[in-house]
Amino acid sequence: MSRTHYLDHASSSPLRPEAVEAITGWANSGTFADPGRQHGDGHLVRDSVEHARDAVATLLDVRPREVVFTSGGTEAANAASSGARAARGAGPMLYTAVEHSAVRLAAERAGLAVPIEVDALGRVDLDRLSQLLDAADESSPPVLVHCQWANHEVGTVQPVAEVVALCHARGVAVHVDACAAAGEVRLALGELGADLVSVSAHKLGGPPGVGALVVRRGTRIAPLLLGGEQERGRRAGMENVPGILGFGAVAAALSLPGVIEHEAARARAQSEQLLDAALQVKGVTAYGDRSDRLPHIVCIGVSDVEAEAVVLGLDQAGIAVHSGSACSSESLEPSPVLEAMGVDAQRSLRLSVGWSTTTDDVEAFAKHFPDVVGRLRALTDAPEHP
């Protein structure tokens, strides 16, 4: 059952009509062959998959041969870490302290992992990165540096171009987690030159269960999954054909001139309205960089009440939001992102808009948020704010 007012697009965005049409068309086509087979039906499906690959490559500004389809951003991040470790040896793996858990845990499992500090806005410390790169043992240089394009909880944009330049000057490969940013801003990955980039379809209105790892030409990594020669030997297993077709259809729509820019401008206006409404309530603080951020994400802290209670109160009003609180997620620990920023994760809320967000959604939050917080503070007998 869909939410009345869905403000959690950064977790997963509803299927866009283009994805629905592509998946329905596949289901009604009567052609369900393995795209790796040499008969006519197999060739038809292969052509469809490669057409989708072209569309994703166009959206990301990379070569189609550089796009490896995966089951999502999590698999792509794991493939980047394990593949780099297998290909480059036992050196340390660096990651910004605000990376998604899929990146952080994959780096830690791959071997020696070293976090890079961030500032109070969640932005990576370039001087610290330089120090870590310079301090690395010449006999065992870093095998990979992970740096997200922008943070998935507070929206802060990272200086990815500077990170890539610093690392490449020392011969170190870079993986960029672009799952939160893809489809929200123009990525121009060809110009960026990152060695590995992970993206996920469901964040931008595509189907869940499909994503991609962009492997820059000349980059060598060992495959994470073995058992077949799919994806040019870089990812075994039969392709998720309907998911890939849906992903490709959304990528094609977003690649049209001005589409991303138009959606970004609308998202920026809507998220600013949400933030302005939240900040009207005493004891509410904005987290992250308010200006240099992804257009669709804002994060706030609410004093005197637990975030879980606010999430539940808004849910009762038909409004879906996300919290970094342990009790409001699958994790048993508070958000490491917010902890790295020095923020109380138990009192944080993330609000995120998307392609289907309406004025009514924004107005519903502005109407109910003060009441929910006020009722909760009254229950806890919190002191009055000056």
Q: Which are the catalytic amino acids?
A: 327
Residues 6+ apart with CB under 8 A from 231: 68, 69, 239
Cβ of 92: how many Cβ atoms within 10 Å? 19
% helix / strand / coil in the chain, to the nearest 5? 45, 15, 40
Please give the full DSSP string across 139-170, using - where no structure is assigned. TS--SEEE--SB-TTT-BBP-HHHHHHHHHTT
Q: Which amino acid is at 304?
A: D
What tokens does 323 get? Answer: 């919290």
Query: In 3-state terms, what secondary structure has residue 81?
Result: helix
How far apart (Å, rounded) are the C-alpha atoms in residues 219 and 173?
9
Q: How far apart are CA 234 and CA 216, in angstroms?
A: 13
Tokens of 248: 């490709």
Euclidean distance between CA atoms 219 and 208, whole angstroms: 27
Dist CA 45 CA 32 (whole Å) = 7
Structure token pair of residue 47: 């052509």
What would the DSSP string read from start to end of 346-386? GGEEEEE--TT--HHHHHHHHHHHHHHHHHHHHHHTPPPP-
Task: Kindly tell me the burial class for residue 95, based on how many C-beta atoms sit within 10 Å of its own C-beta (0-12, 13-18, 19 or more).
Answer: buried
- Alpha carbon distance 291, 11 (integer Å): 21
